[in-house]
Amino acid sequence: MDKLKTAFSKNLKQFVMLFTLVVIIVFFQLMTRGTLLKPMNVFNLINQNAYVVVLAVGMLLCILTGGNVDLSVGSVVAFVGACAGTLMITWKWDPYLSVFLCLIMGVLIGAWHGFWIAYVRIPAFIVTLSGQLIFRGLTLIVLKGLTLSPFPKAFMSLSTGAIGNFLGFLDPGSGLRNFTSLLIGIIMGLVFIFLELKKQADRKRKGYSYDSLMVTLVRGLVIAAALVYFFWLLACYIGTPVVLITVGIVLVVYSYLTSKTVMGRHIYAVGGNEKAARLSGVKTDKIIFLTYVNMSFLAAVAGLIFSARLQSASPQAGTGFELDAIGAVYIGGASAYGGIGTVGGTLIGALIMGVLNNGMSIMGISIDMQQVVKGLVLLAAVAFDVISKQKISLPFFTRLFSRRKAA
């Protein structure tokens, strides 16, 4: 029991966010009379929020370097979608070539932002705000204020629909429509438990601090059970969404990047103390430059995902997307000062935002009130970060009010 308490105290922020997600899901499941976790709604929830996860992962890296954000990502999403629509619908270019060119365009946009931020040292807020205006204007110019549709089926197949039931002959029934999805969930659950045990053994062997075997098993089994249940819900509908493959690749790649690579350690070092990192030999300018290149690249990926889901390229696409991404990162436990945050936490933050949106929409709550609720949740998450850093307690408030009285 003492070891469980110790593990909880070490990962307080992550546990609080995970507990918050569970509470929100249970609340909306009850308030919507079971509609929230119906297989069809879960499937739609993934498709509706895939772009938020992709954008949030990119935004996490920007915030890790010092609390900076990229305000241009919504406009970049719209611009890439407009370019994809022009290439595929108007000019009839090959969909795969068009996707490749759109991704290259995202990299170039990121290089434009990164140059001014990293090497000229213009504040990221100003550069990306400028990018927000520039690429929103270019979107209107490219589309001439019109909406282009529909995209070719070859492009749509990249991020819409579901993975086929290749193992239908093994289907045990019981309401399952896609046994392949359930098998994917079981395999992922077992892999997760194996990786947790391996990580615990590696830390023990290297002499690092590590959780007890019981804590590791409990954490692994709980998350594995959640994964199996999630994929079972999808199996009861039409299967695993194709876009989940893209999202899964992004999550795995960037989890590895931030936790297992030299570049990942350098990103955290820059956010912790840029001057100290530079004196330690870290090429801070290069790290900052690459984080913004990466952000716009992922914005291009999100733009393609979103355009495929809408089946059109719209001048209004991407409006407010930067706020969803920033909110997901901070709600997921990233520090407002940089240097702290994880991909897993960002995923939890994106899920909280998605469940809030979906649950309130099912309940018929107006868009205005939804904005109020999301704003309060974001403020609460950042306040929790600040309070936990300053270790605010009753004596803190006593000193605070005494200072005001003296003034």
pLDDT tens digits along 149-182: 999 988 987 777 888 777 665 555 556 778 888 8
Total tally of structural domains belonging to the chain: 1
Per residue in 229-287, pLDDT tens?
Answer: 999 999 888 889 999 999 999 999 999 999 889 999 999 999 989 999 999 999 999 99
Under a CB-based contact definition with an 8 Å cutoff, are residues 302 and 84 in contact?
Answer: no
User: Is position 4 within any domain?
Assistant: no
User: Is position 82 within any domain?
Assistant: yes
Give me 5's structure tokens. Answer: 């308490």
User: Is position 130 within any domain?
Assistant: yes
Average predicted confidence (pLDDT) for the chain: 87
Under a CB-based contact definition with an 8 Å cutoff, are residues 25 and 36 in contact?
Answer: yes
Question: What mean pLDDT is predicted for residues 55-82?
Answer: 94
Q: Counting Cβ atoms within 10 Å, is residue 369 exposed (0-12), middle (13-18) or buried (19+)?
A: exposed
What is the model's pLDDT at position 15? 72
Per residue in 389-407, pLDDT tens?
Answer: 665 444 544 555 555 555 5
User: Is position 204 within any domain?
Assistant: no
Confidence of residue 228 (pLDDT cuts 50, 70, 90): very high
Residue 254 — φ and ψ, nearest 5°?
-80, -25
What is the model's pLDDT at position 393? 45
Domain enclosing residue 110, as ranges: 39-161+241-390
User: Is position 31 within any domain?
Assistant: no
The number of beta carbons lying within 10 Å of the beta carbon of residue 340 is: 19
Nearest CA among 160, 159, 218 for reference residue 193: 218
User: Is position 374 within any domain?
Assistant: yes
Does the pTM of the predicted model rise above 0.75?
Answer: yes
User: Is position 172 within any domain?
Assistant: no
User: Is position 124 within any domain?
Assistant: yes
What is the model's pLDDT at position 91? 94
- Cα 27 to Cα 16: distance, rounded to the nearest angstrom: 16
Alpha carbon separation from 246 to 57, 147, 321 (Å, rounded): 13, 26, 18
CATH of the domain at 55: 1.10.3470
